[in-house]
Structure 1
């Protein structure tokens, strides 16, 4: 009597392919671009849609603060009262003057990129001179940055991670759109929005951590070429929901 071979386990679904399929239901305006990266924290599975580089607008404020915290770690000190005031205004209220002050304090693009190397960012380039909002990055790099903030294996020490998480969890009312639309409560995020003077089109970006049915996800959504801020936000929020659906149903 012959033996019956054990069934071969089905291969794990390709996260990138599933995300691409989910993004097929997201309405993206003609001429606009979007890239998405998501990590299911519990399983460690991730997926990326699109690999282009985008201007950060204000999401770079998370990286600016991470660079400042790394430099303070190296010096064996905490942040000064002035630095803390700038950091809170920069992240919670997206205050640009505070961002400019801390951009200068970290050494502008050079300081950001030095920190980026330690944080595992491989495709992020600081903006020229004072133009921190024109830093270029990818969704995959932003997902790596989120992992450094919300994970335990990080170049940032525990106090620095807790500090960043706290600020991202207290975003000002009216600025808490974006990836938070995919979560139920307790989101921590930073958004960026920038109207381009040459074209009248909008860059709309959102990065952060969301919780869905008790399960945590890190999500980065970057976009440009949106005809208006509200339309861009709606698309980014739909993309964040699509990203979560990849693993929420897996």
Structure 2
């Protein structure tokens, strides 16, 4: 059962981080369309769920609102994906890498309506390879961990062709850095959304440390321009 039976638009509020003034969904996701393809780039399983859960659910609810306005029954899910850092040692977590079967890897995301399980994609955790997934899956909106930048660990990665940068520039509508120390906009969630994200965190906890808990009912994101994002990723492209 998808979250359309649990959440509604009034379960989310938006606020500018610097002023505390109210914002709206249009400020969070400008030019939204129900066919937008959204991806979470996840380099740590728990952190990805913790920091993007509210944002994912807010966009999923906007998707269902469009279907509800059309009337009648529906069975559909938003075009949302999770690109998760997995290598031969397992999925990246706050502790050691953990070997999970695909169902267990996808479980935290399925609870956030990143479904079916085929929407959870395993990928190398470098900026270049995650950007390659964004390109290959023709993503329009991306939640990107602020700390993931091109670096020396990508020496063996094949650069993306220059035309990939041009196509990304055409296709991307919005880029949100999560786990940011300088957020520009906050998504505040009501109790039903908080419960869903907490349940996803329980699914994501596979280490021996204390389970990840929600400290806030909001998440902050730093919105950057598509041009600015691609400039930061410039070394991922062939010269």
Normalization by structure 1: what TM-score?
A: 0.28
Q: Which has the larger radius of gyration?
A: 1
Give the helix-richer structure, 1 or 2: 1
